[in-house]
Structure 1
Amino acid sequence: MSEKITAETRTEFGKGAARRIRRENKIPAVVYGHGNDPIHLTLPGHATMMALKHGGANALLDLDIDGKSQLALTKQVQVDPIRRVIEHVDFVAVVKGEKVTVDVPVHVVGDAAPETLVVTENATVQLEAEATHIPEFIEVSVEGAAAGTQIHASDLTLPSGATLLVDGDTLVVNVTEQISAAALESELEEAEAEAGIEREESDEAAAAPAEGEAAPTEE
């Protein structure tokens, strides 16, 4: 589903103009595609933020530009790393029925068998899908999965009309045996020994009495 957003065309560009737009709680944006010149826009801040949040990484917006409707697929969102506000959005113009290439996030759900570790090897998969039917994410269940379970791209359940563009053998989720703290420490010591690294003795170890030696007493 696309969310309706009323946009304003803009003729001012550059950092100064962008700062003025943001001070008004609005967002500068550009729509590319279909052989047309880029359309520079100003979008309402809160409404756009909520629409992008609801739509996910590939949010589809129905932009009202000077009274004309334009479907726009989100391609890049620039966010201020400190204030966490949207600074700029790039869109690609699309039409209903058009197929587009998108990277869709993988969401892992469920609890694997005890003493296992679930590793997401690929957090997204590339699909071809209709612009108006792009899934927000693809769900992968590992409920009860035993160590050694592997889920490949070909195992994913895709929405109707979507086509997988990555190799079907691409490993998406890997369920492995959970390594204990003792085993991890042992592997680390072996690796350090092979690399010729000597560990410094800790203060506690240095203070501990050797085997068969009486512990020091305080006077």
Structure 2
Amino acid sequence: MSDTEKIAAETRTEFGKGAARRIRRDNKIPAVIYGHGAEPLHVTLPGHQTMMALKHGGSNALLALDFDGTEHLALTKQVQVDPIKRQIEHIDFVTVIRGEKVTVDVAIHVVGDAAPDTLVVTENNTIQVEAEATHIPESIEVSVEKLPAGHQILAKDLVLPKGTTLAADEDLLIVNVTAQISAEALEAELEEAEAEAGIEHDVPDAEIADAQVEAAAEDAAIEADSAE
């Protein structure tokens, strides 16, 4: 369930890329809070504390942002991360009210071992559910223990925590247990698919040389037989 992390925020009055860079240089994070028909609230958050709160709370972290003497419950909606430095660049929140229900995507966590010679394919890594903002599950556990090939787990088969309801299509495929394919069969399927797609691979020079040597040897043998 979502724990409410309390963080002291500052109202942000400077905008643009230059202002955002200055904020990040001070080890802080620019953020915006949307929701409930109000004007967006632009704030600055302490970098390390916010990063740890998001790490602890997961993709649906719920934070209690305190600024201007008022506490705002804010649900994390989008986190922008620098792909190279792996630093948080910006966060979008949506304001919520205690007791209010929200629709969120929750991670699917597959546990257990299926029957021998099977392959477990997670078709959807998340599932959309409706839950109270202060009681959002961190993940939905799905057991594949001893399940045979051909078994499928749909959204309607999931066991949801109390107070959480399914918001996705009930027939959405979550996990598919299939028969394990051998390396030889997989290679054959790949070759067949490539042939149908018209994909041709260049033959390595070494293979060409070997083929030429074999052809020359066969020609020499034929000529020898003819001479006799």
When normalised by structure 2's length, the TM-score is: 0.86
**Structure 2 residue aligned with 1:91:** 93
Larger deviation, residues 179-188 vs 89-98 = 179-188
**Structure 1 residue aligned with 2:31:** 29
Say yes or no: does 1:10 pair with 2:12: yes
Please list the CA deviations of residues 90-142 of structure 1 after superposition, one character each: whole Å capped at 9, or x if unmatched: 00000100011111111111222222111111111111111001111111111
Partners of 1:195 and 1:80 lie apart in 2 by 38
Partners of 2:33 and 2:196 lie apart in 1 by 56
Amino acid corresponding to residue 22 of structure 1 in structure 2: R
Closer, same or farther: CA 192–90 of 1 in aligned 2, 3 Å: closer
Partners of 1:152 and 1:67 lie apart in 2 by 46
Q: 1:114 aligns with which of 103, 113, 116?
A: 116
Structure with bigger helix share is 2
**Structure 2 residue aligned with 1:137:** 139
Count matched residues.
Answer: 213
Partners of 2:189 and 2:76 lie apart in 1 by 45
Larger deviation, residues 43-52 vs 157-166 = 157-166
Amino acid corresponding to residue 87 of structure 2 in structure 1: V
Partners of 1:121 and 1:76 lie apart in 2 by 23
When normalised by structure 1's length, the TM-score is: 0.89
Please list the CA deviations of residues 17-61 of structure 1 after superposition, one character each: whole Å capped at 9, or x if unmatched: 110010010000011111211111110001100100111111100
Q: 2:155 aligns with which of 153, 156, 165?
A: 153
Sequence identity (%): 73
Please list the CA deviations of residues 159-192 of structure 1 after superposition, one character each: whole Å capped at 9, or x if unmatched: 1111111111110000111110111122233334
Give the unaligned 5+ runs of structure 1.
Answer: 215-219
Partners of 1:135 and 1:32 lie apart in 2 by 22
Larger deviation, residues 55-64 vs 182-191 = 182-191
Give the unaligned 5+ runs of structure 2.
Answer: 219-228
Q: CA RMSD in A?
A: 2.0
**Structure 2 residue aligned with 1:63:** 65
Matches within 5 A, 1:41-56: 41-56=43-58
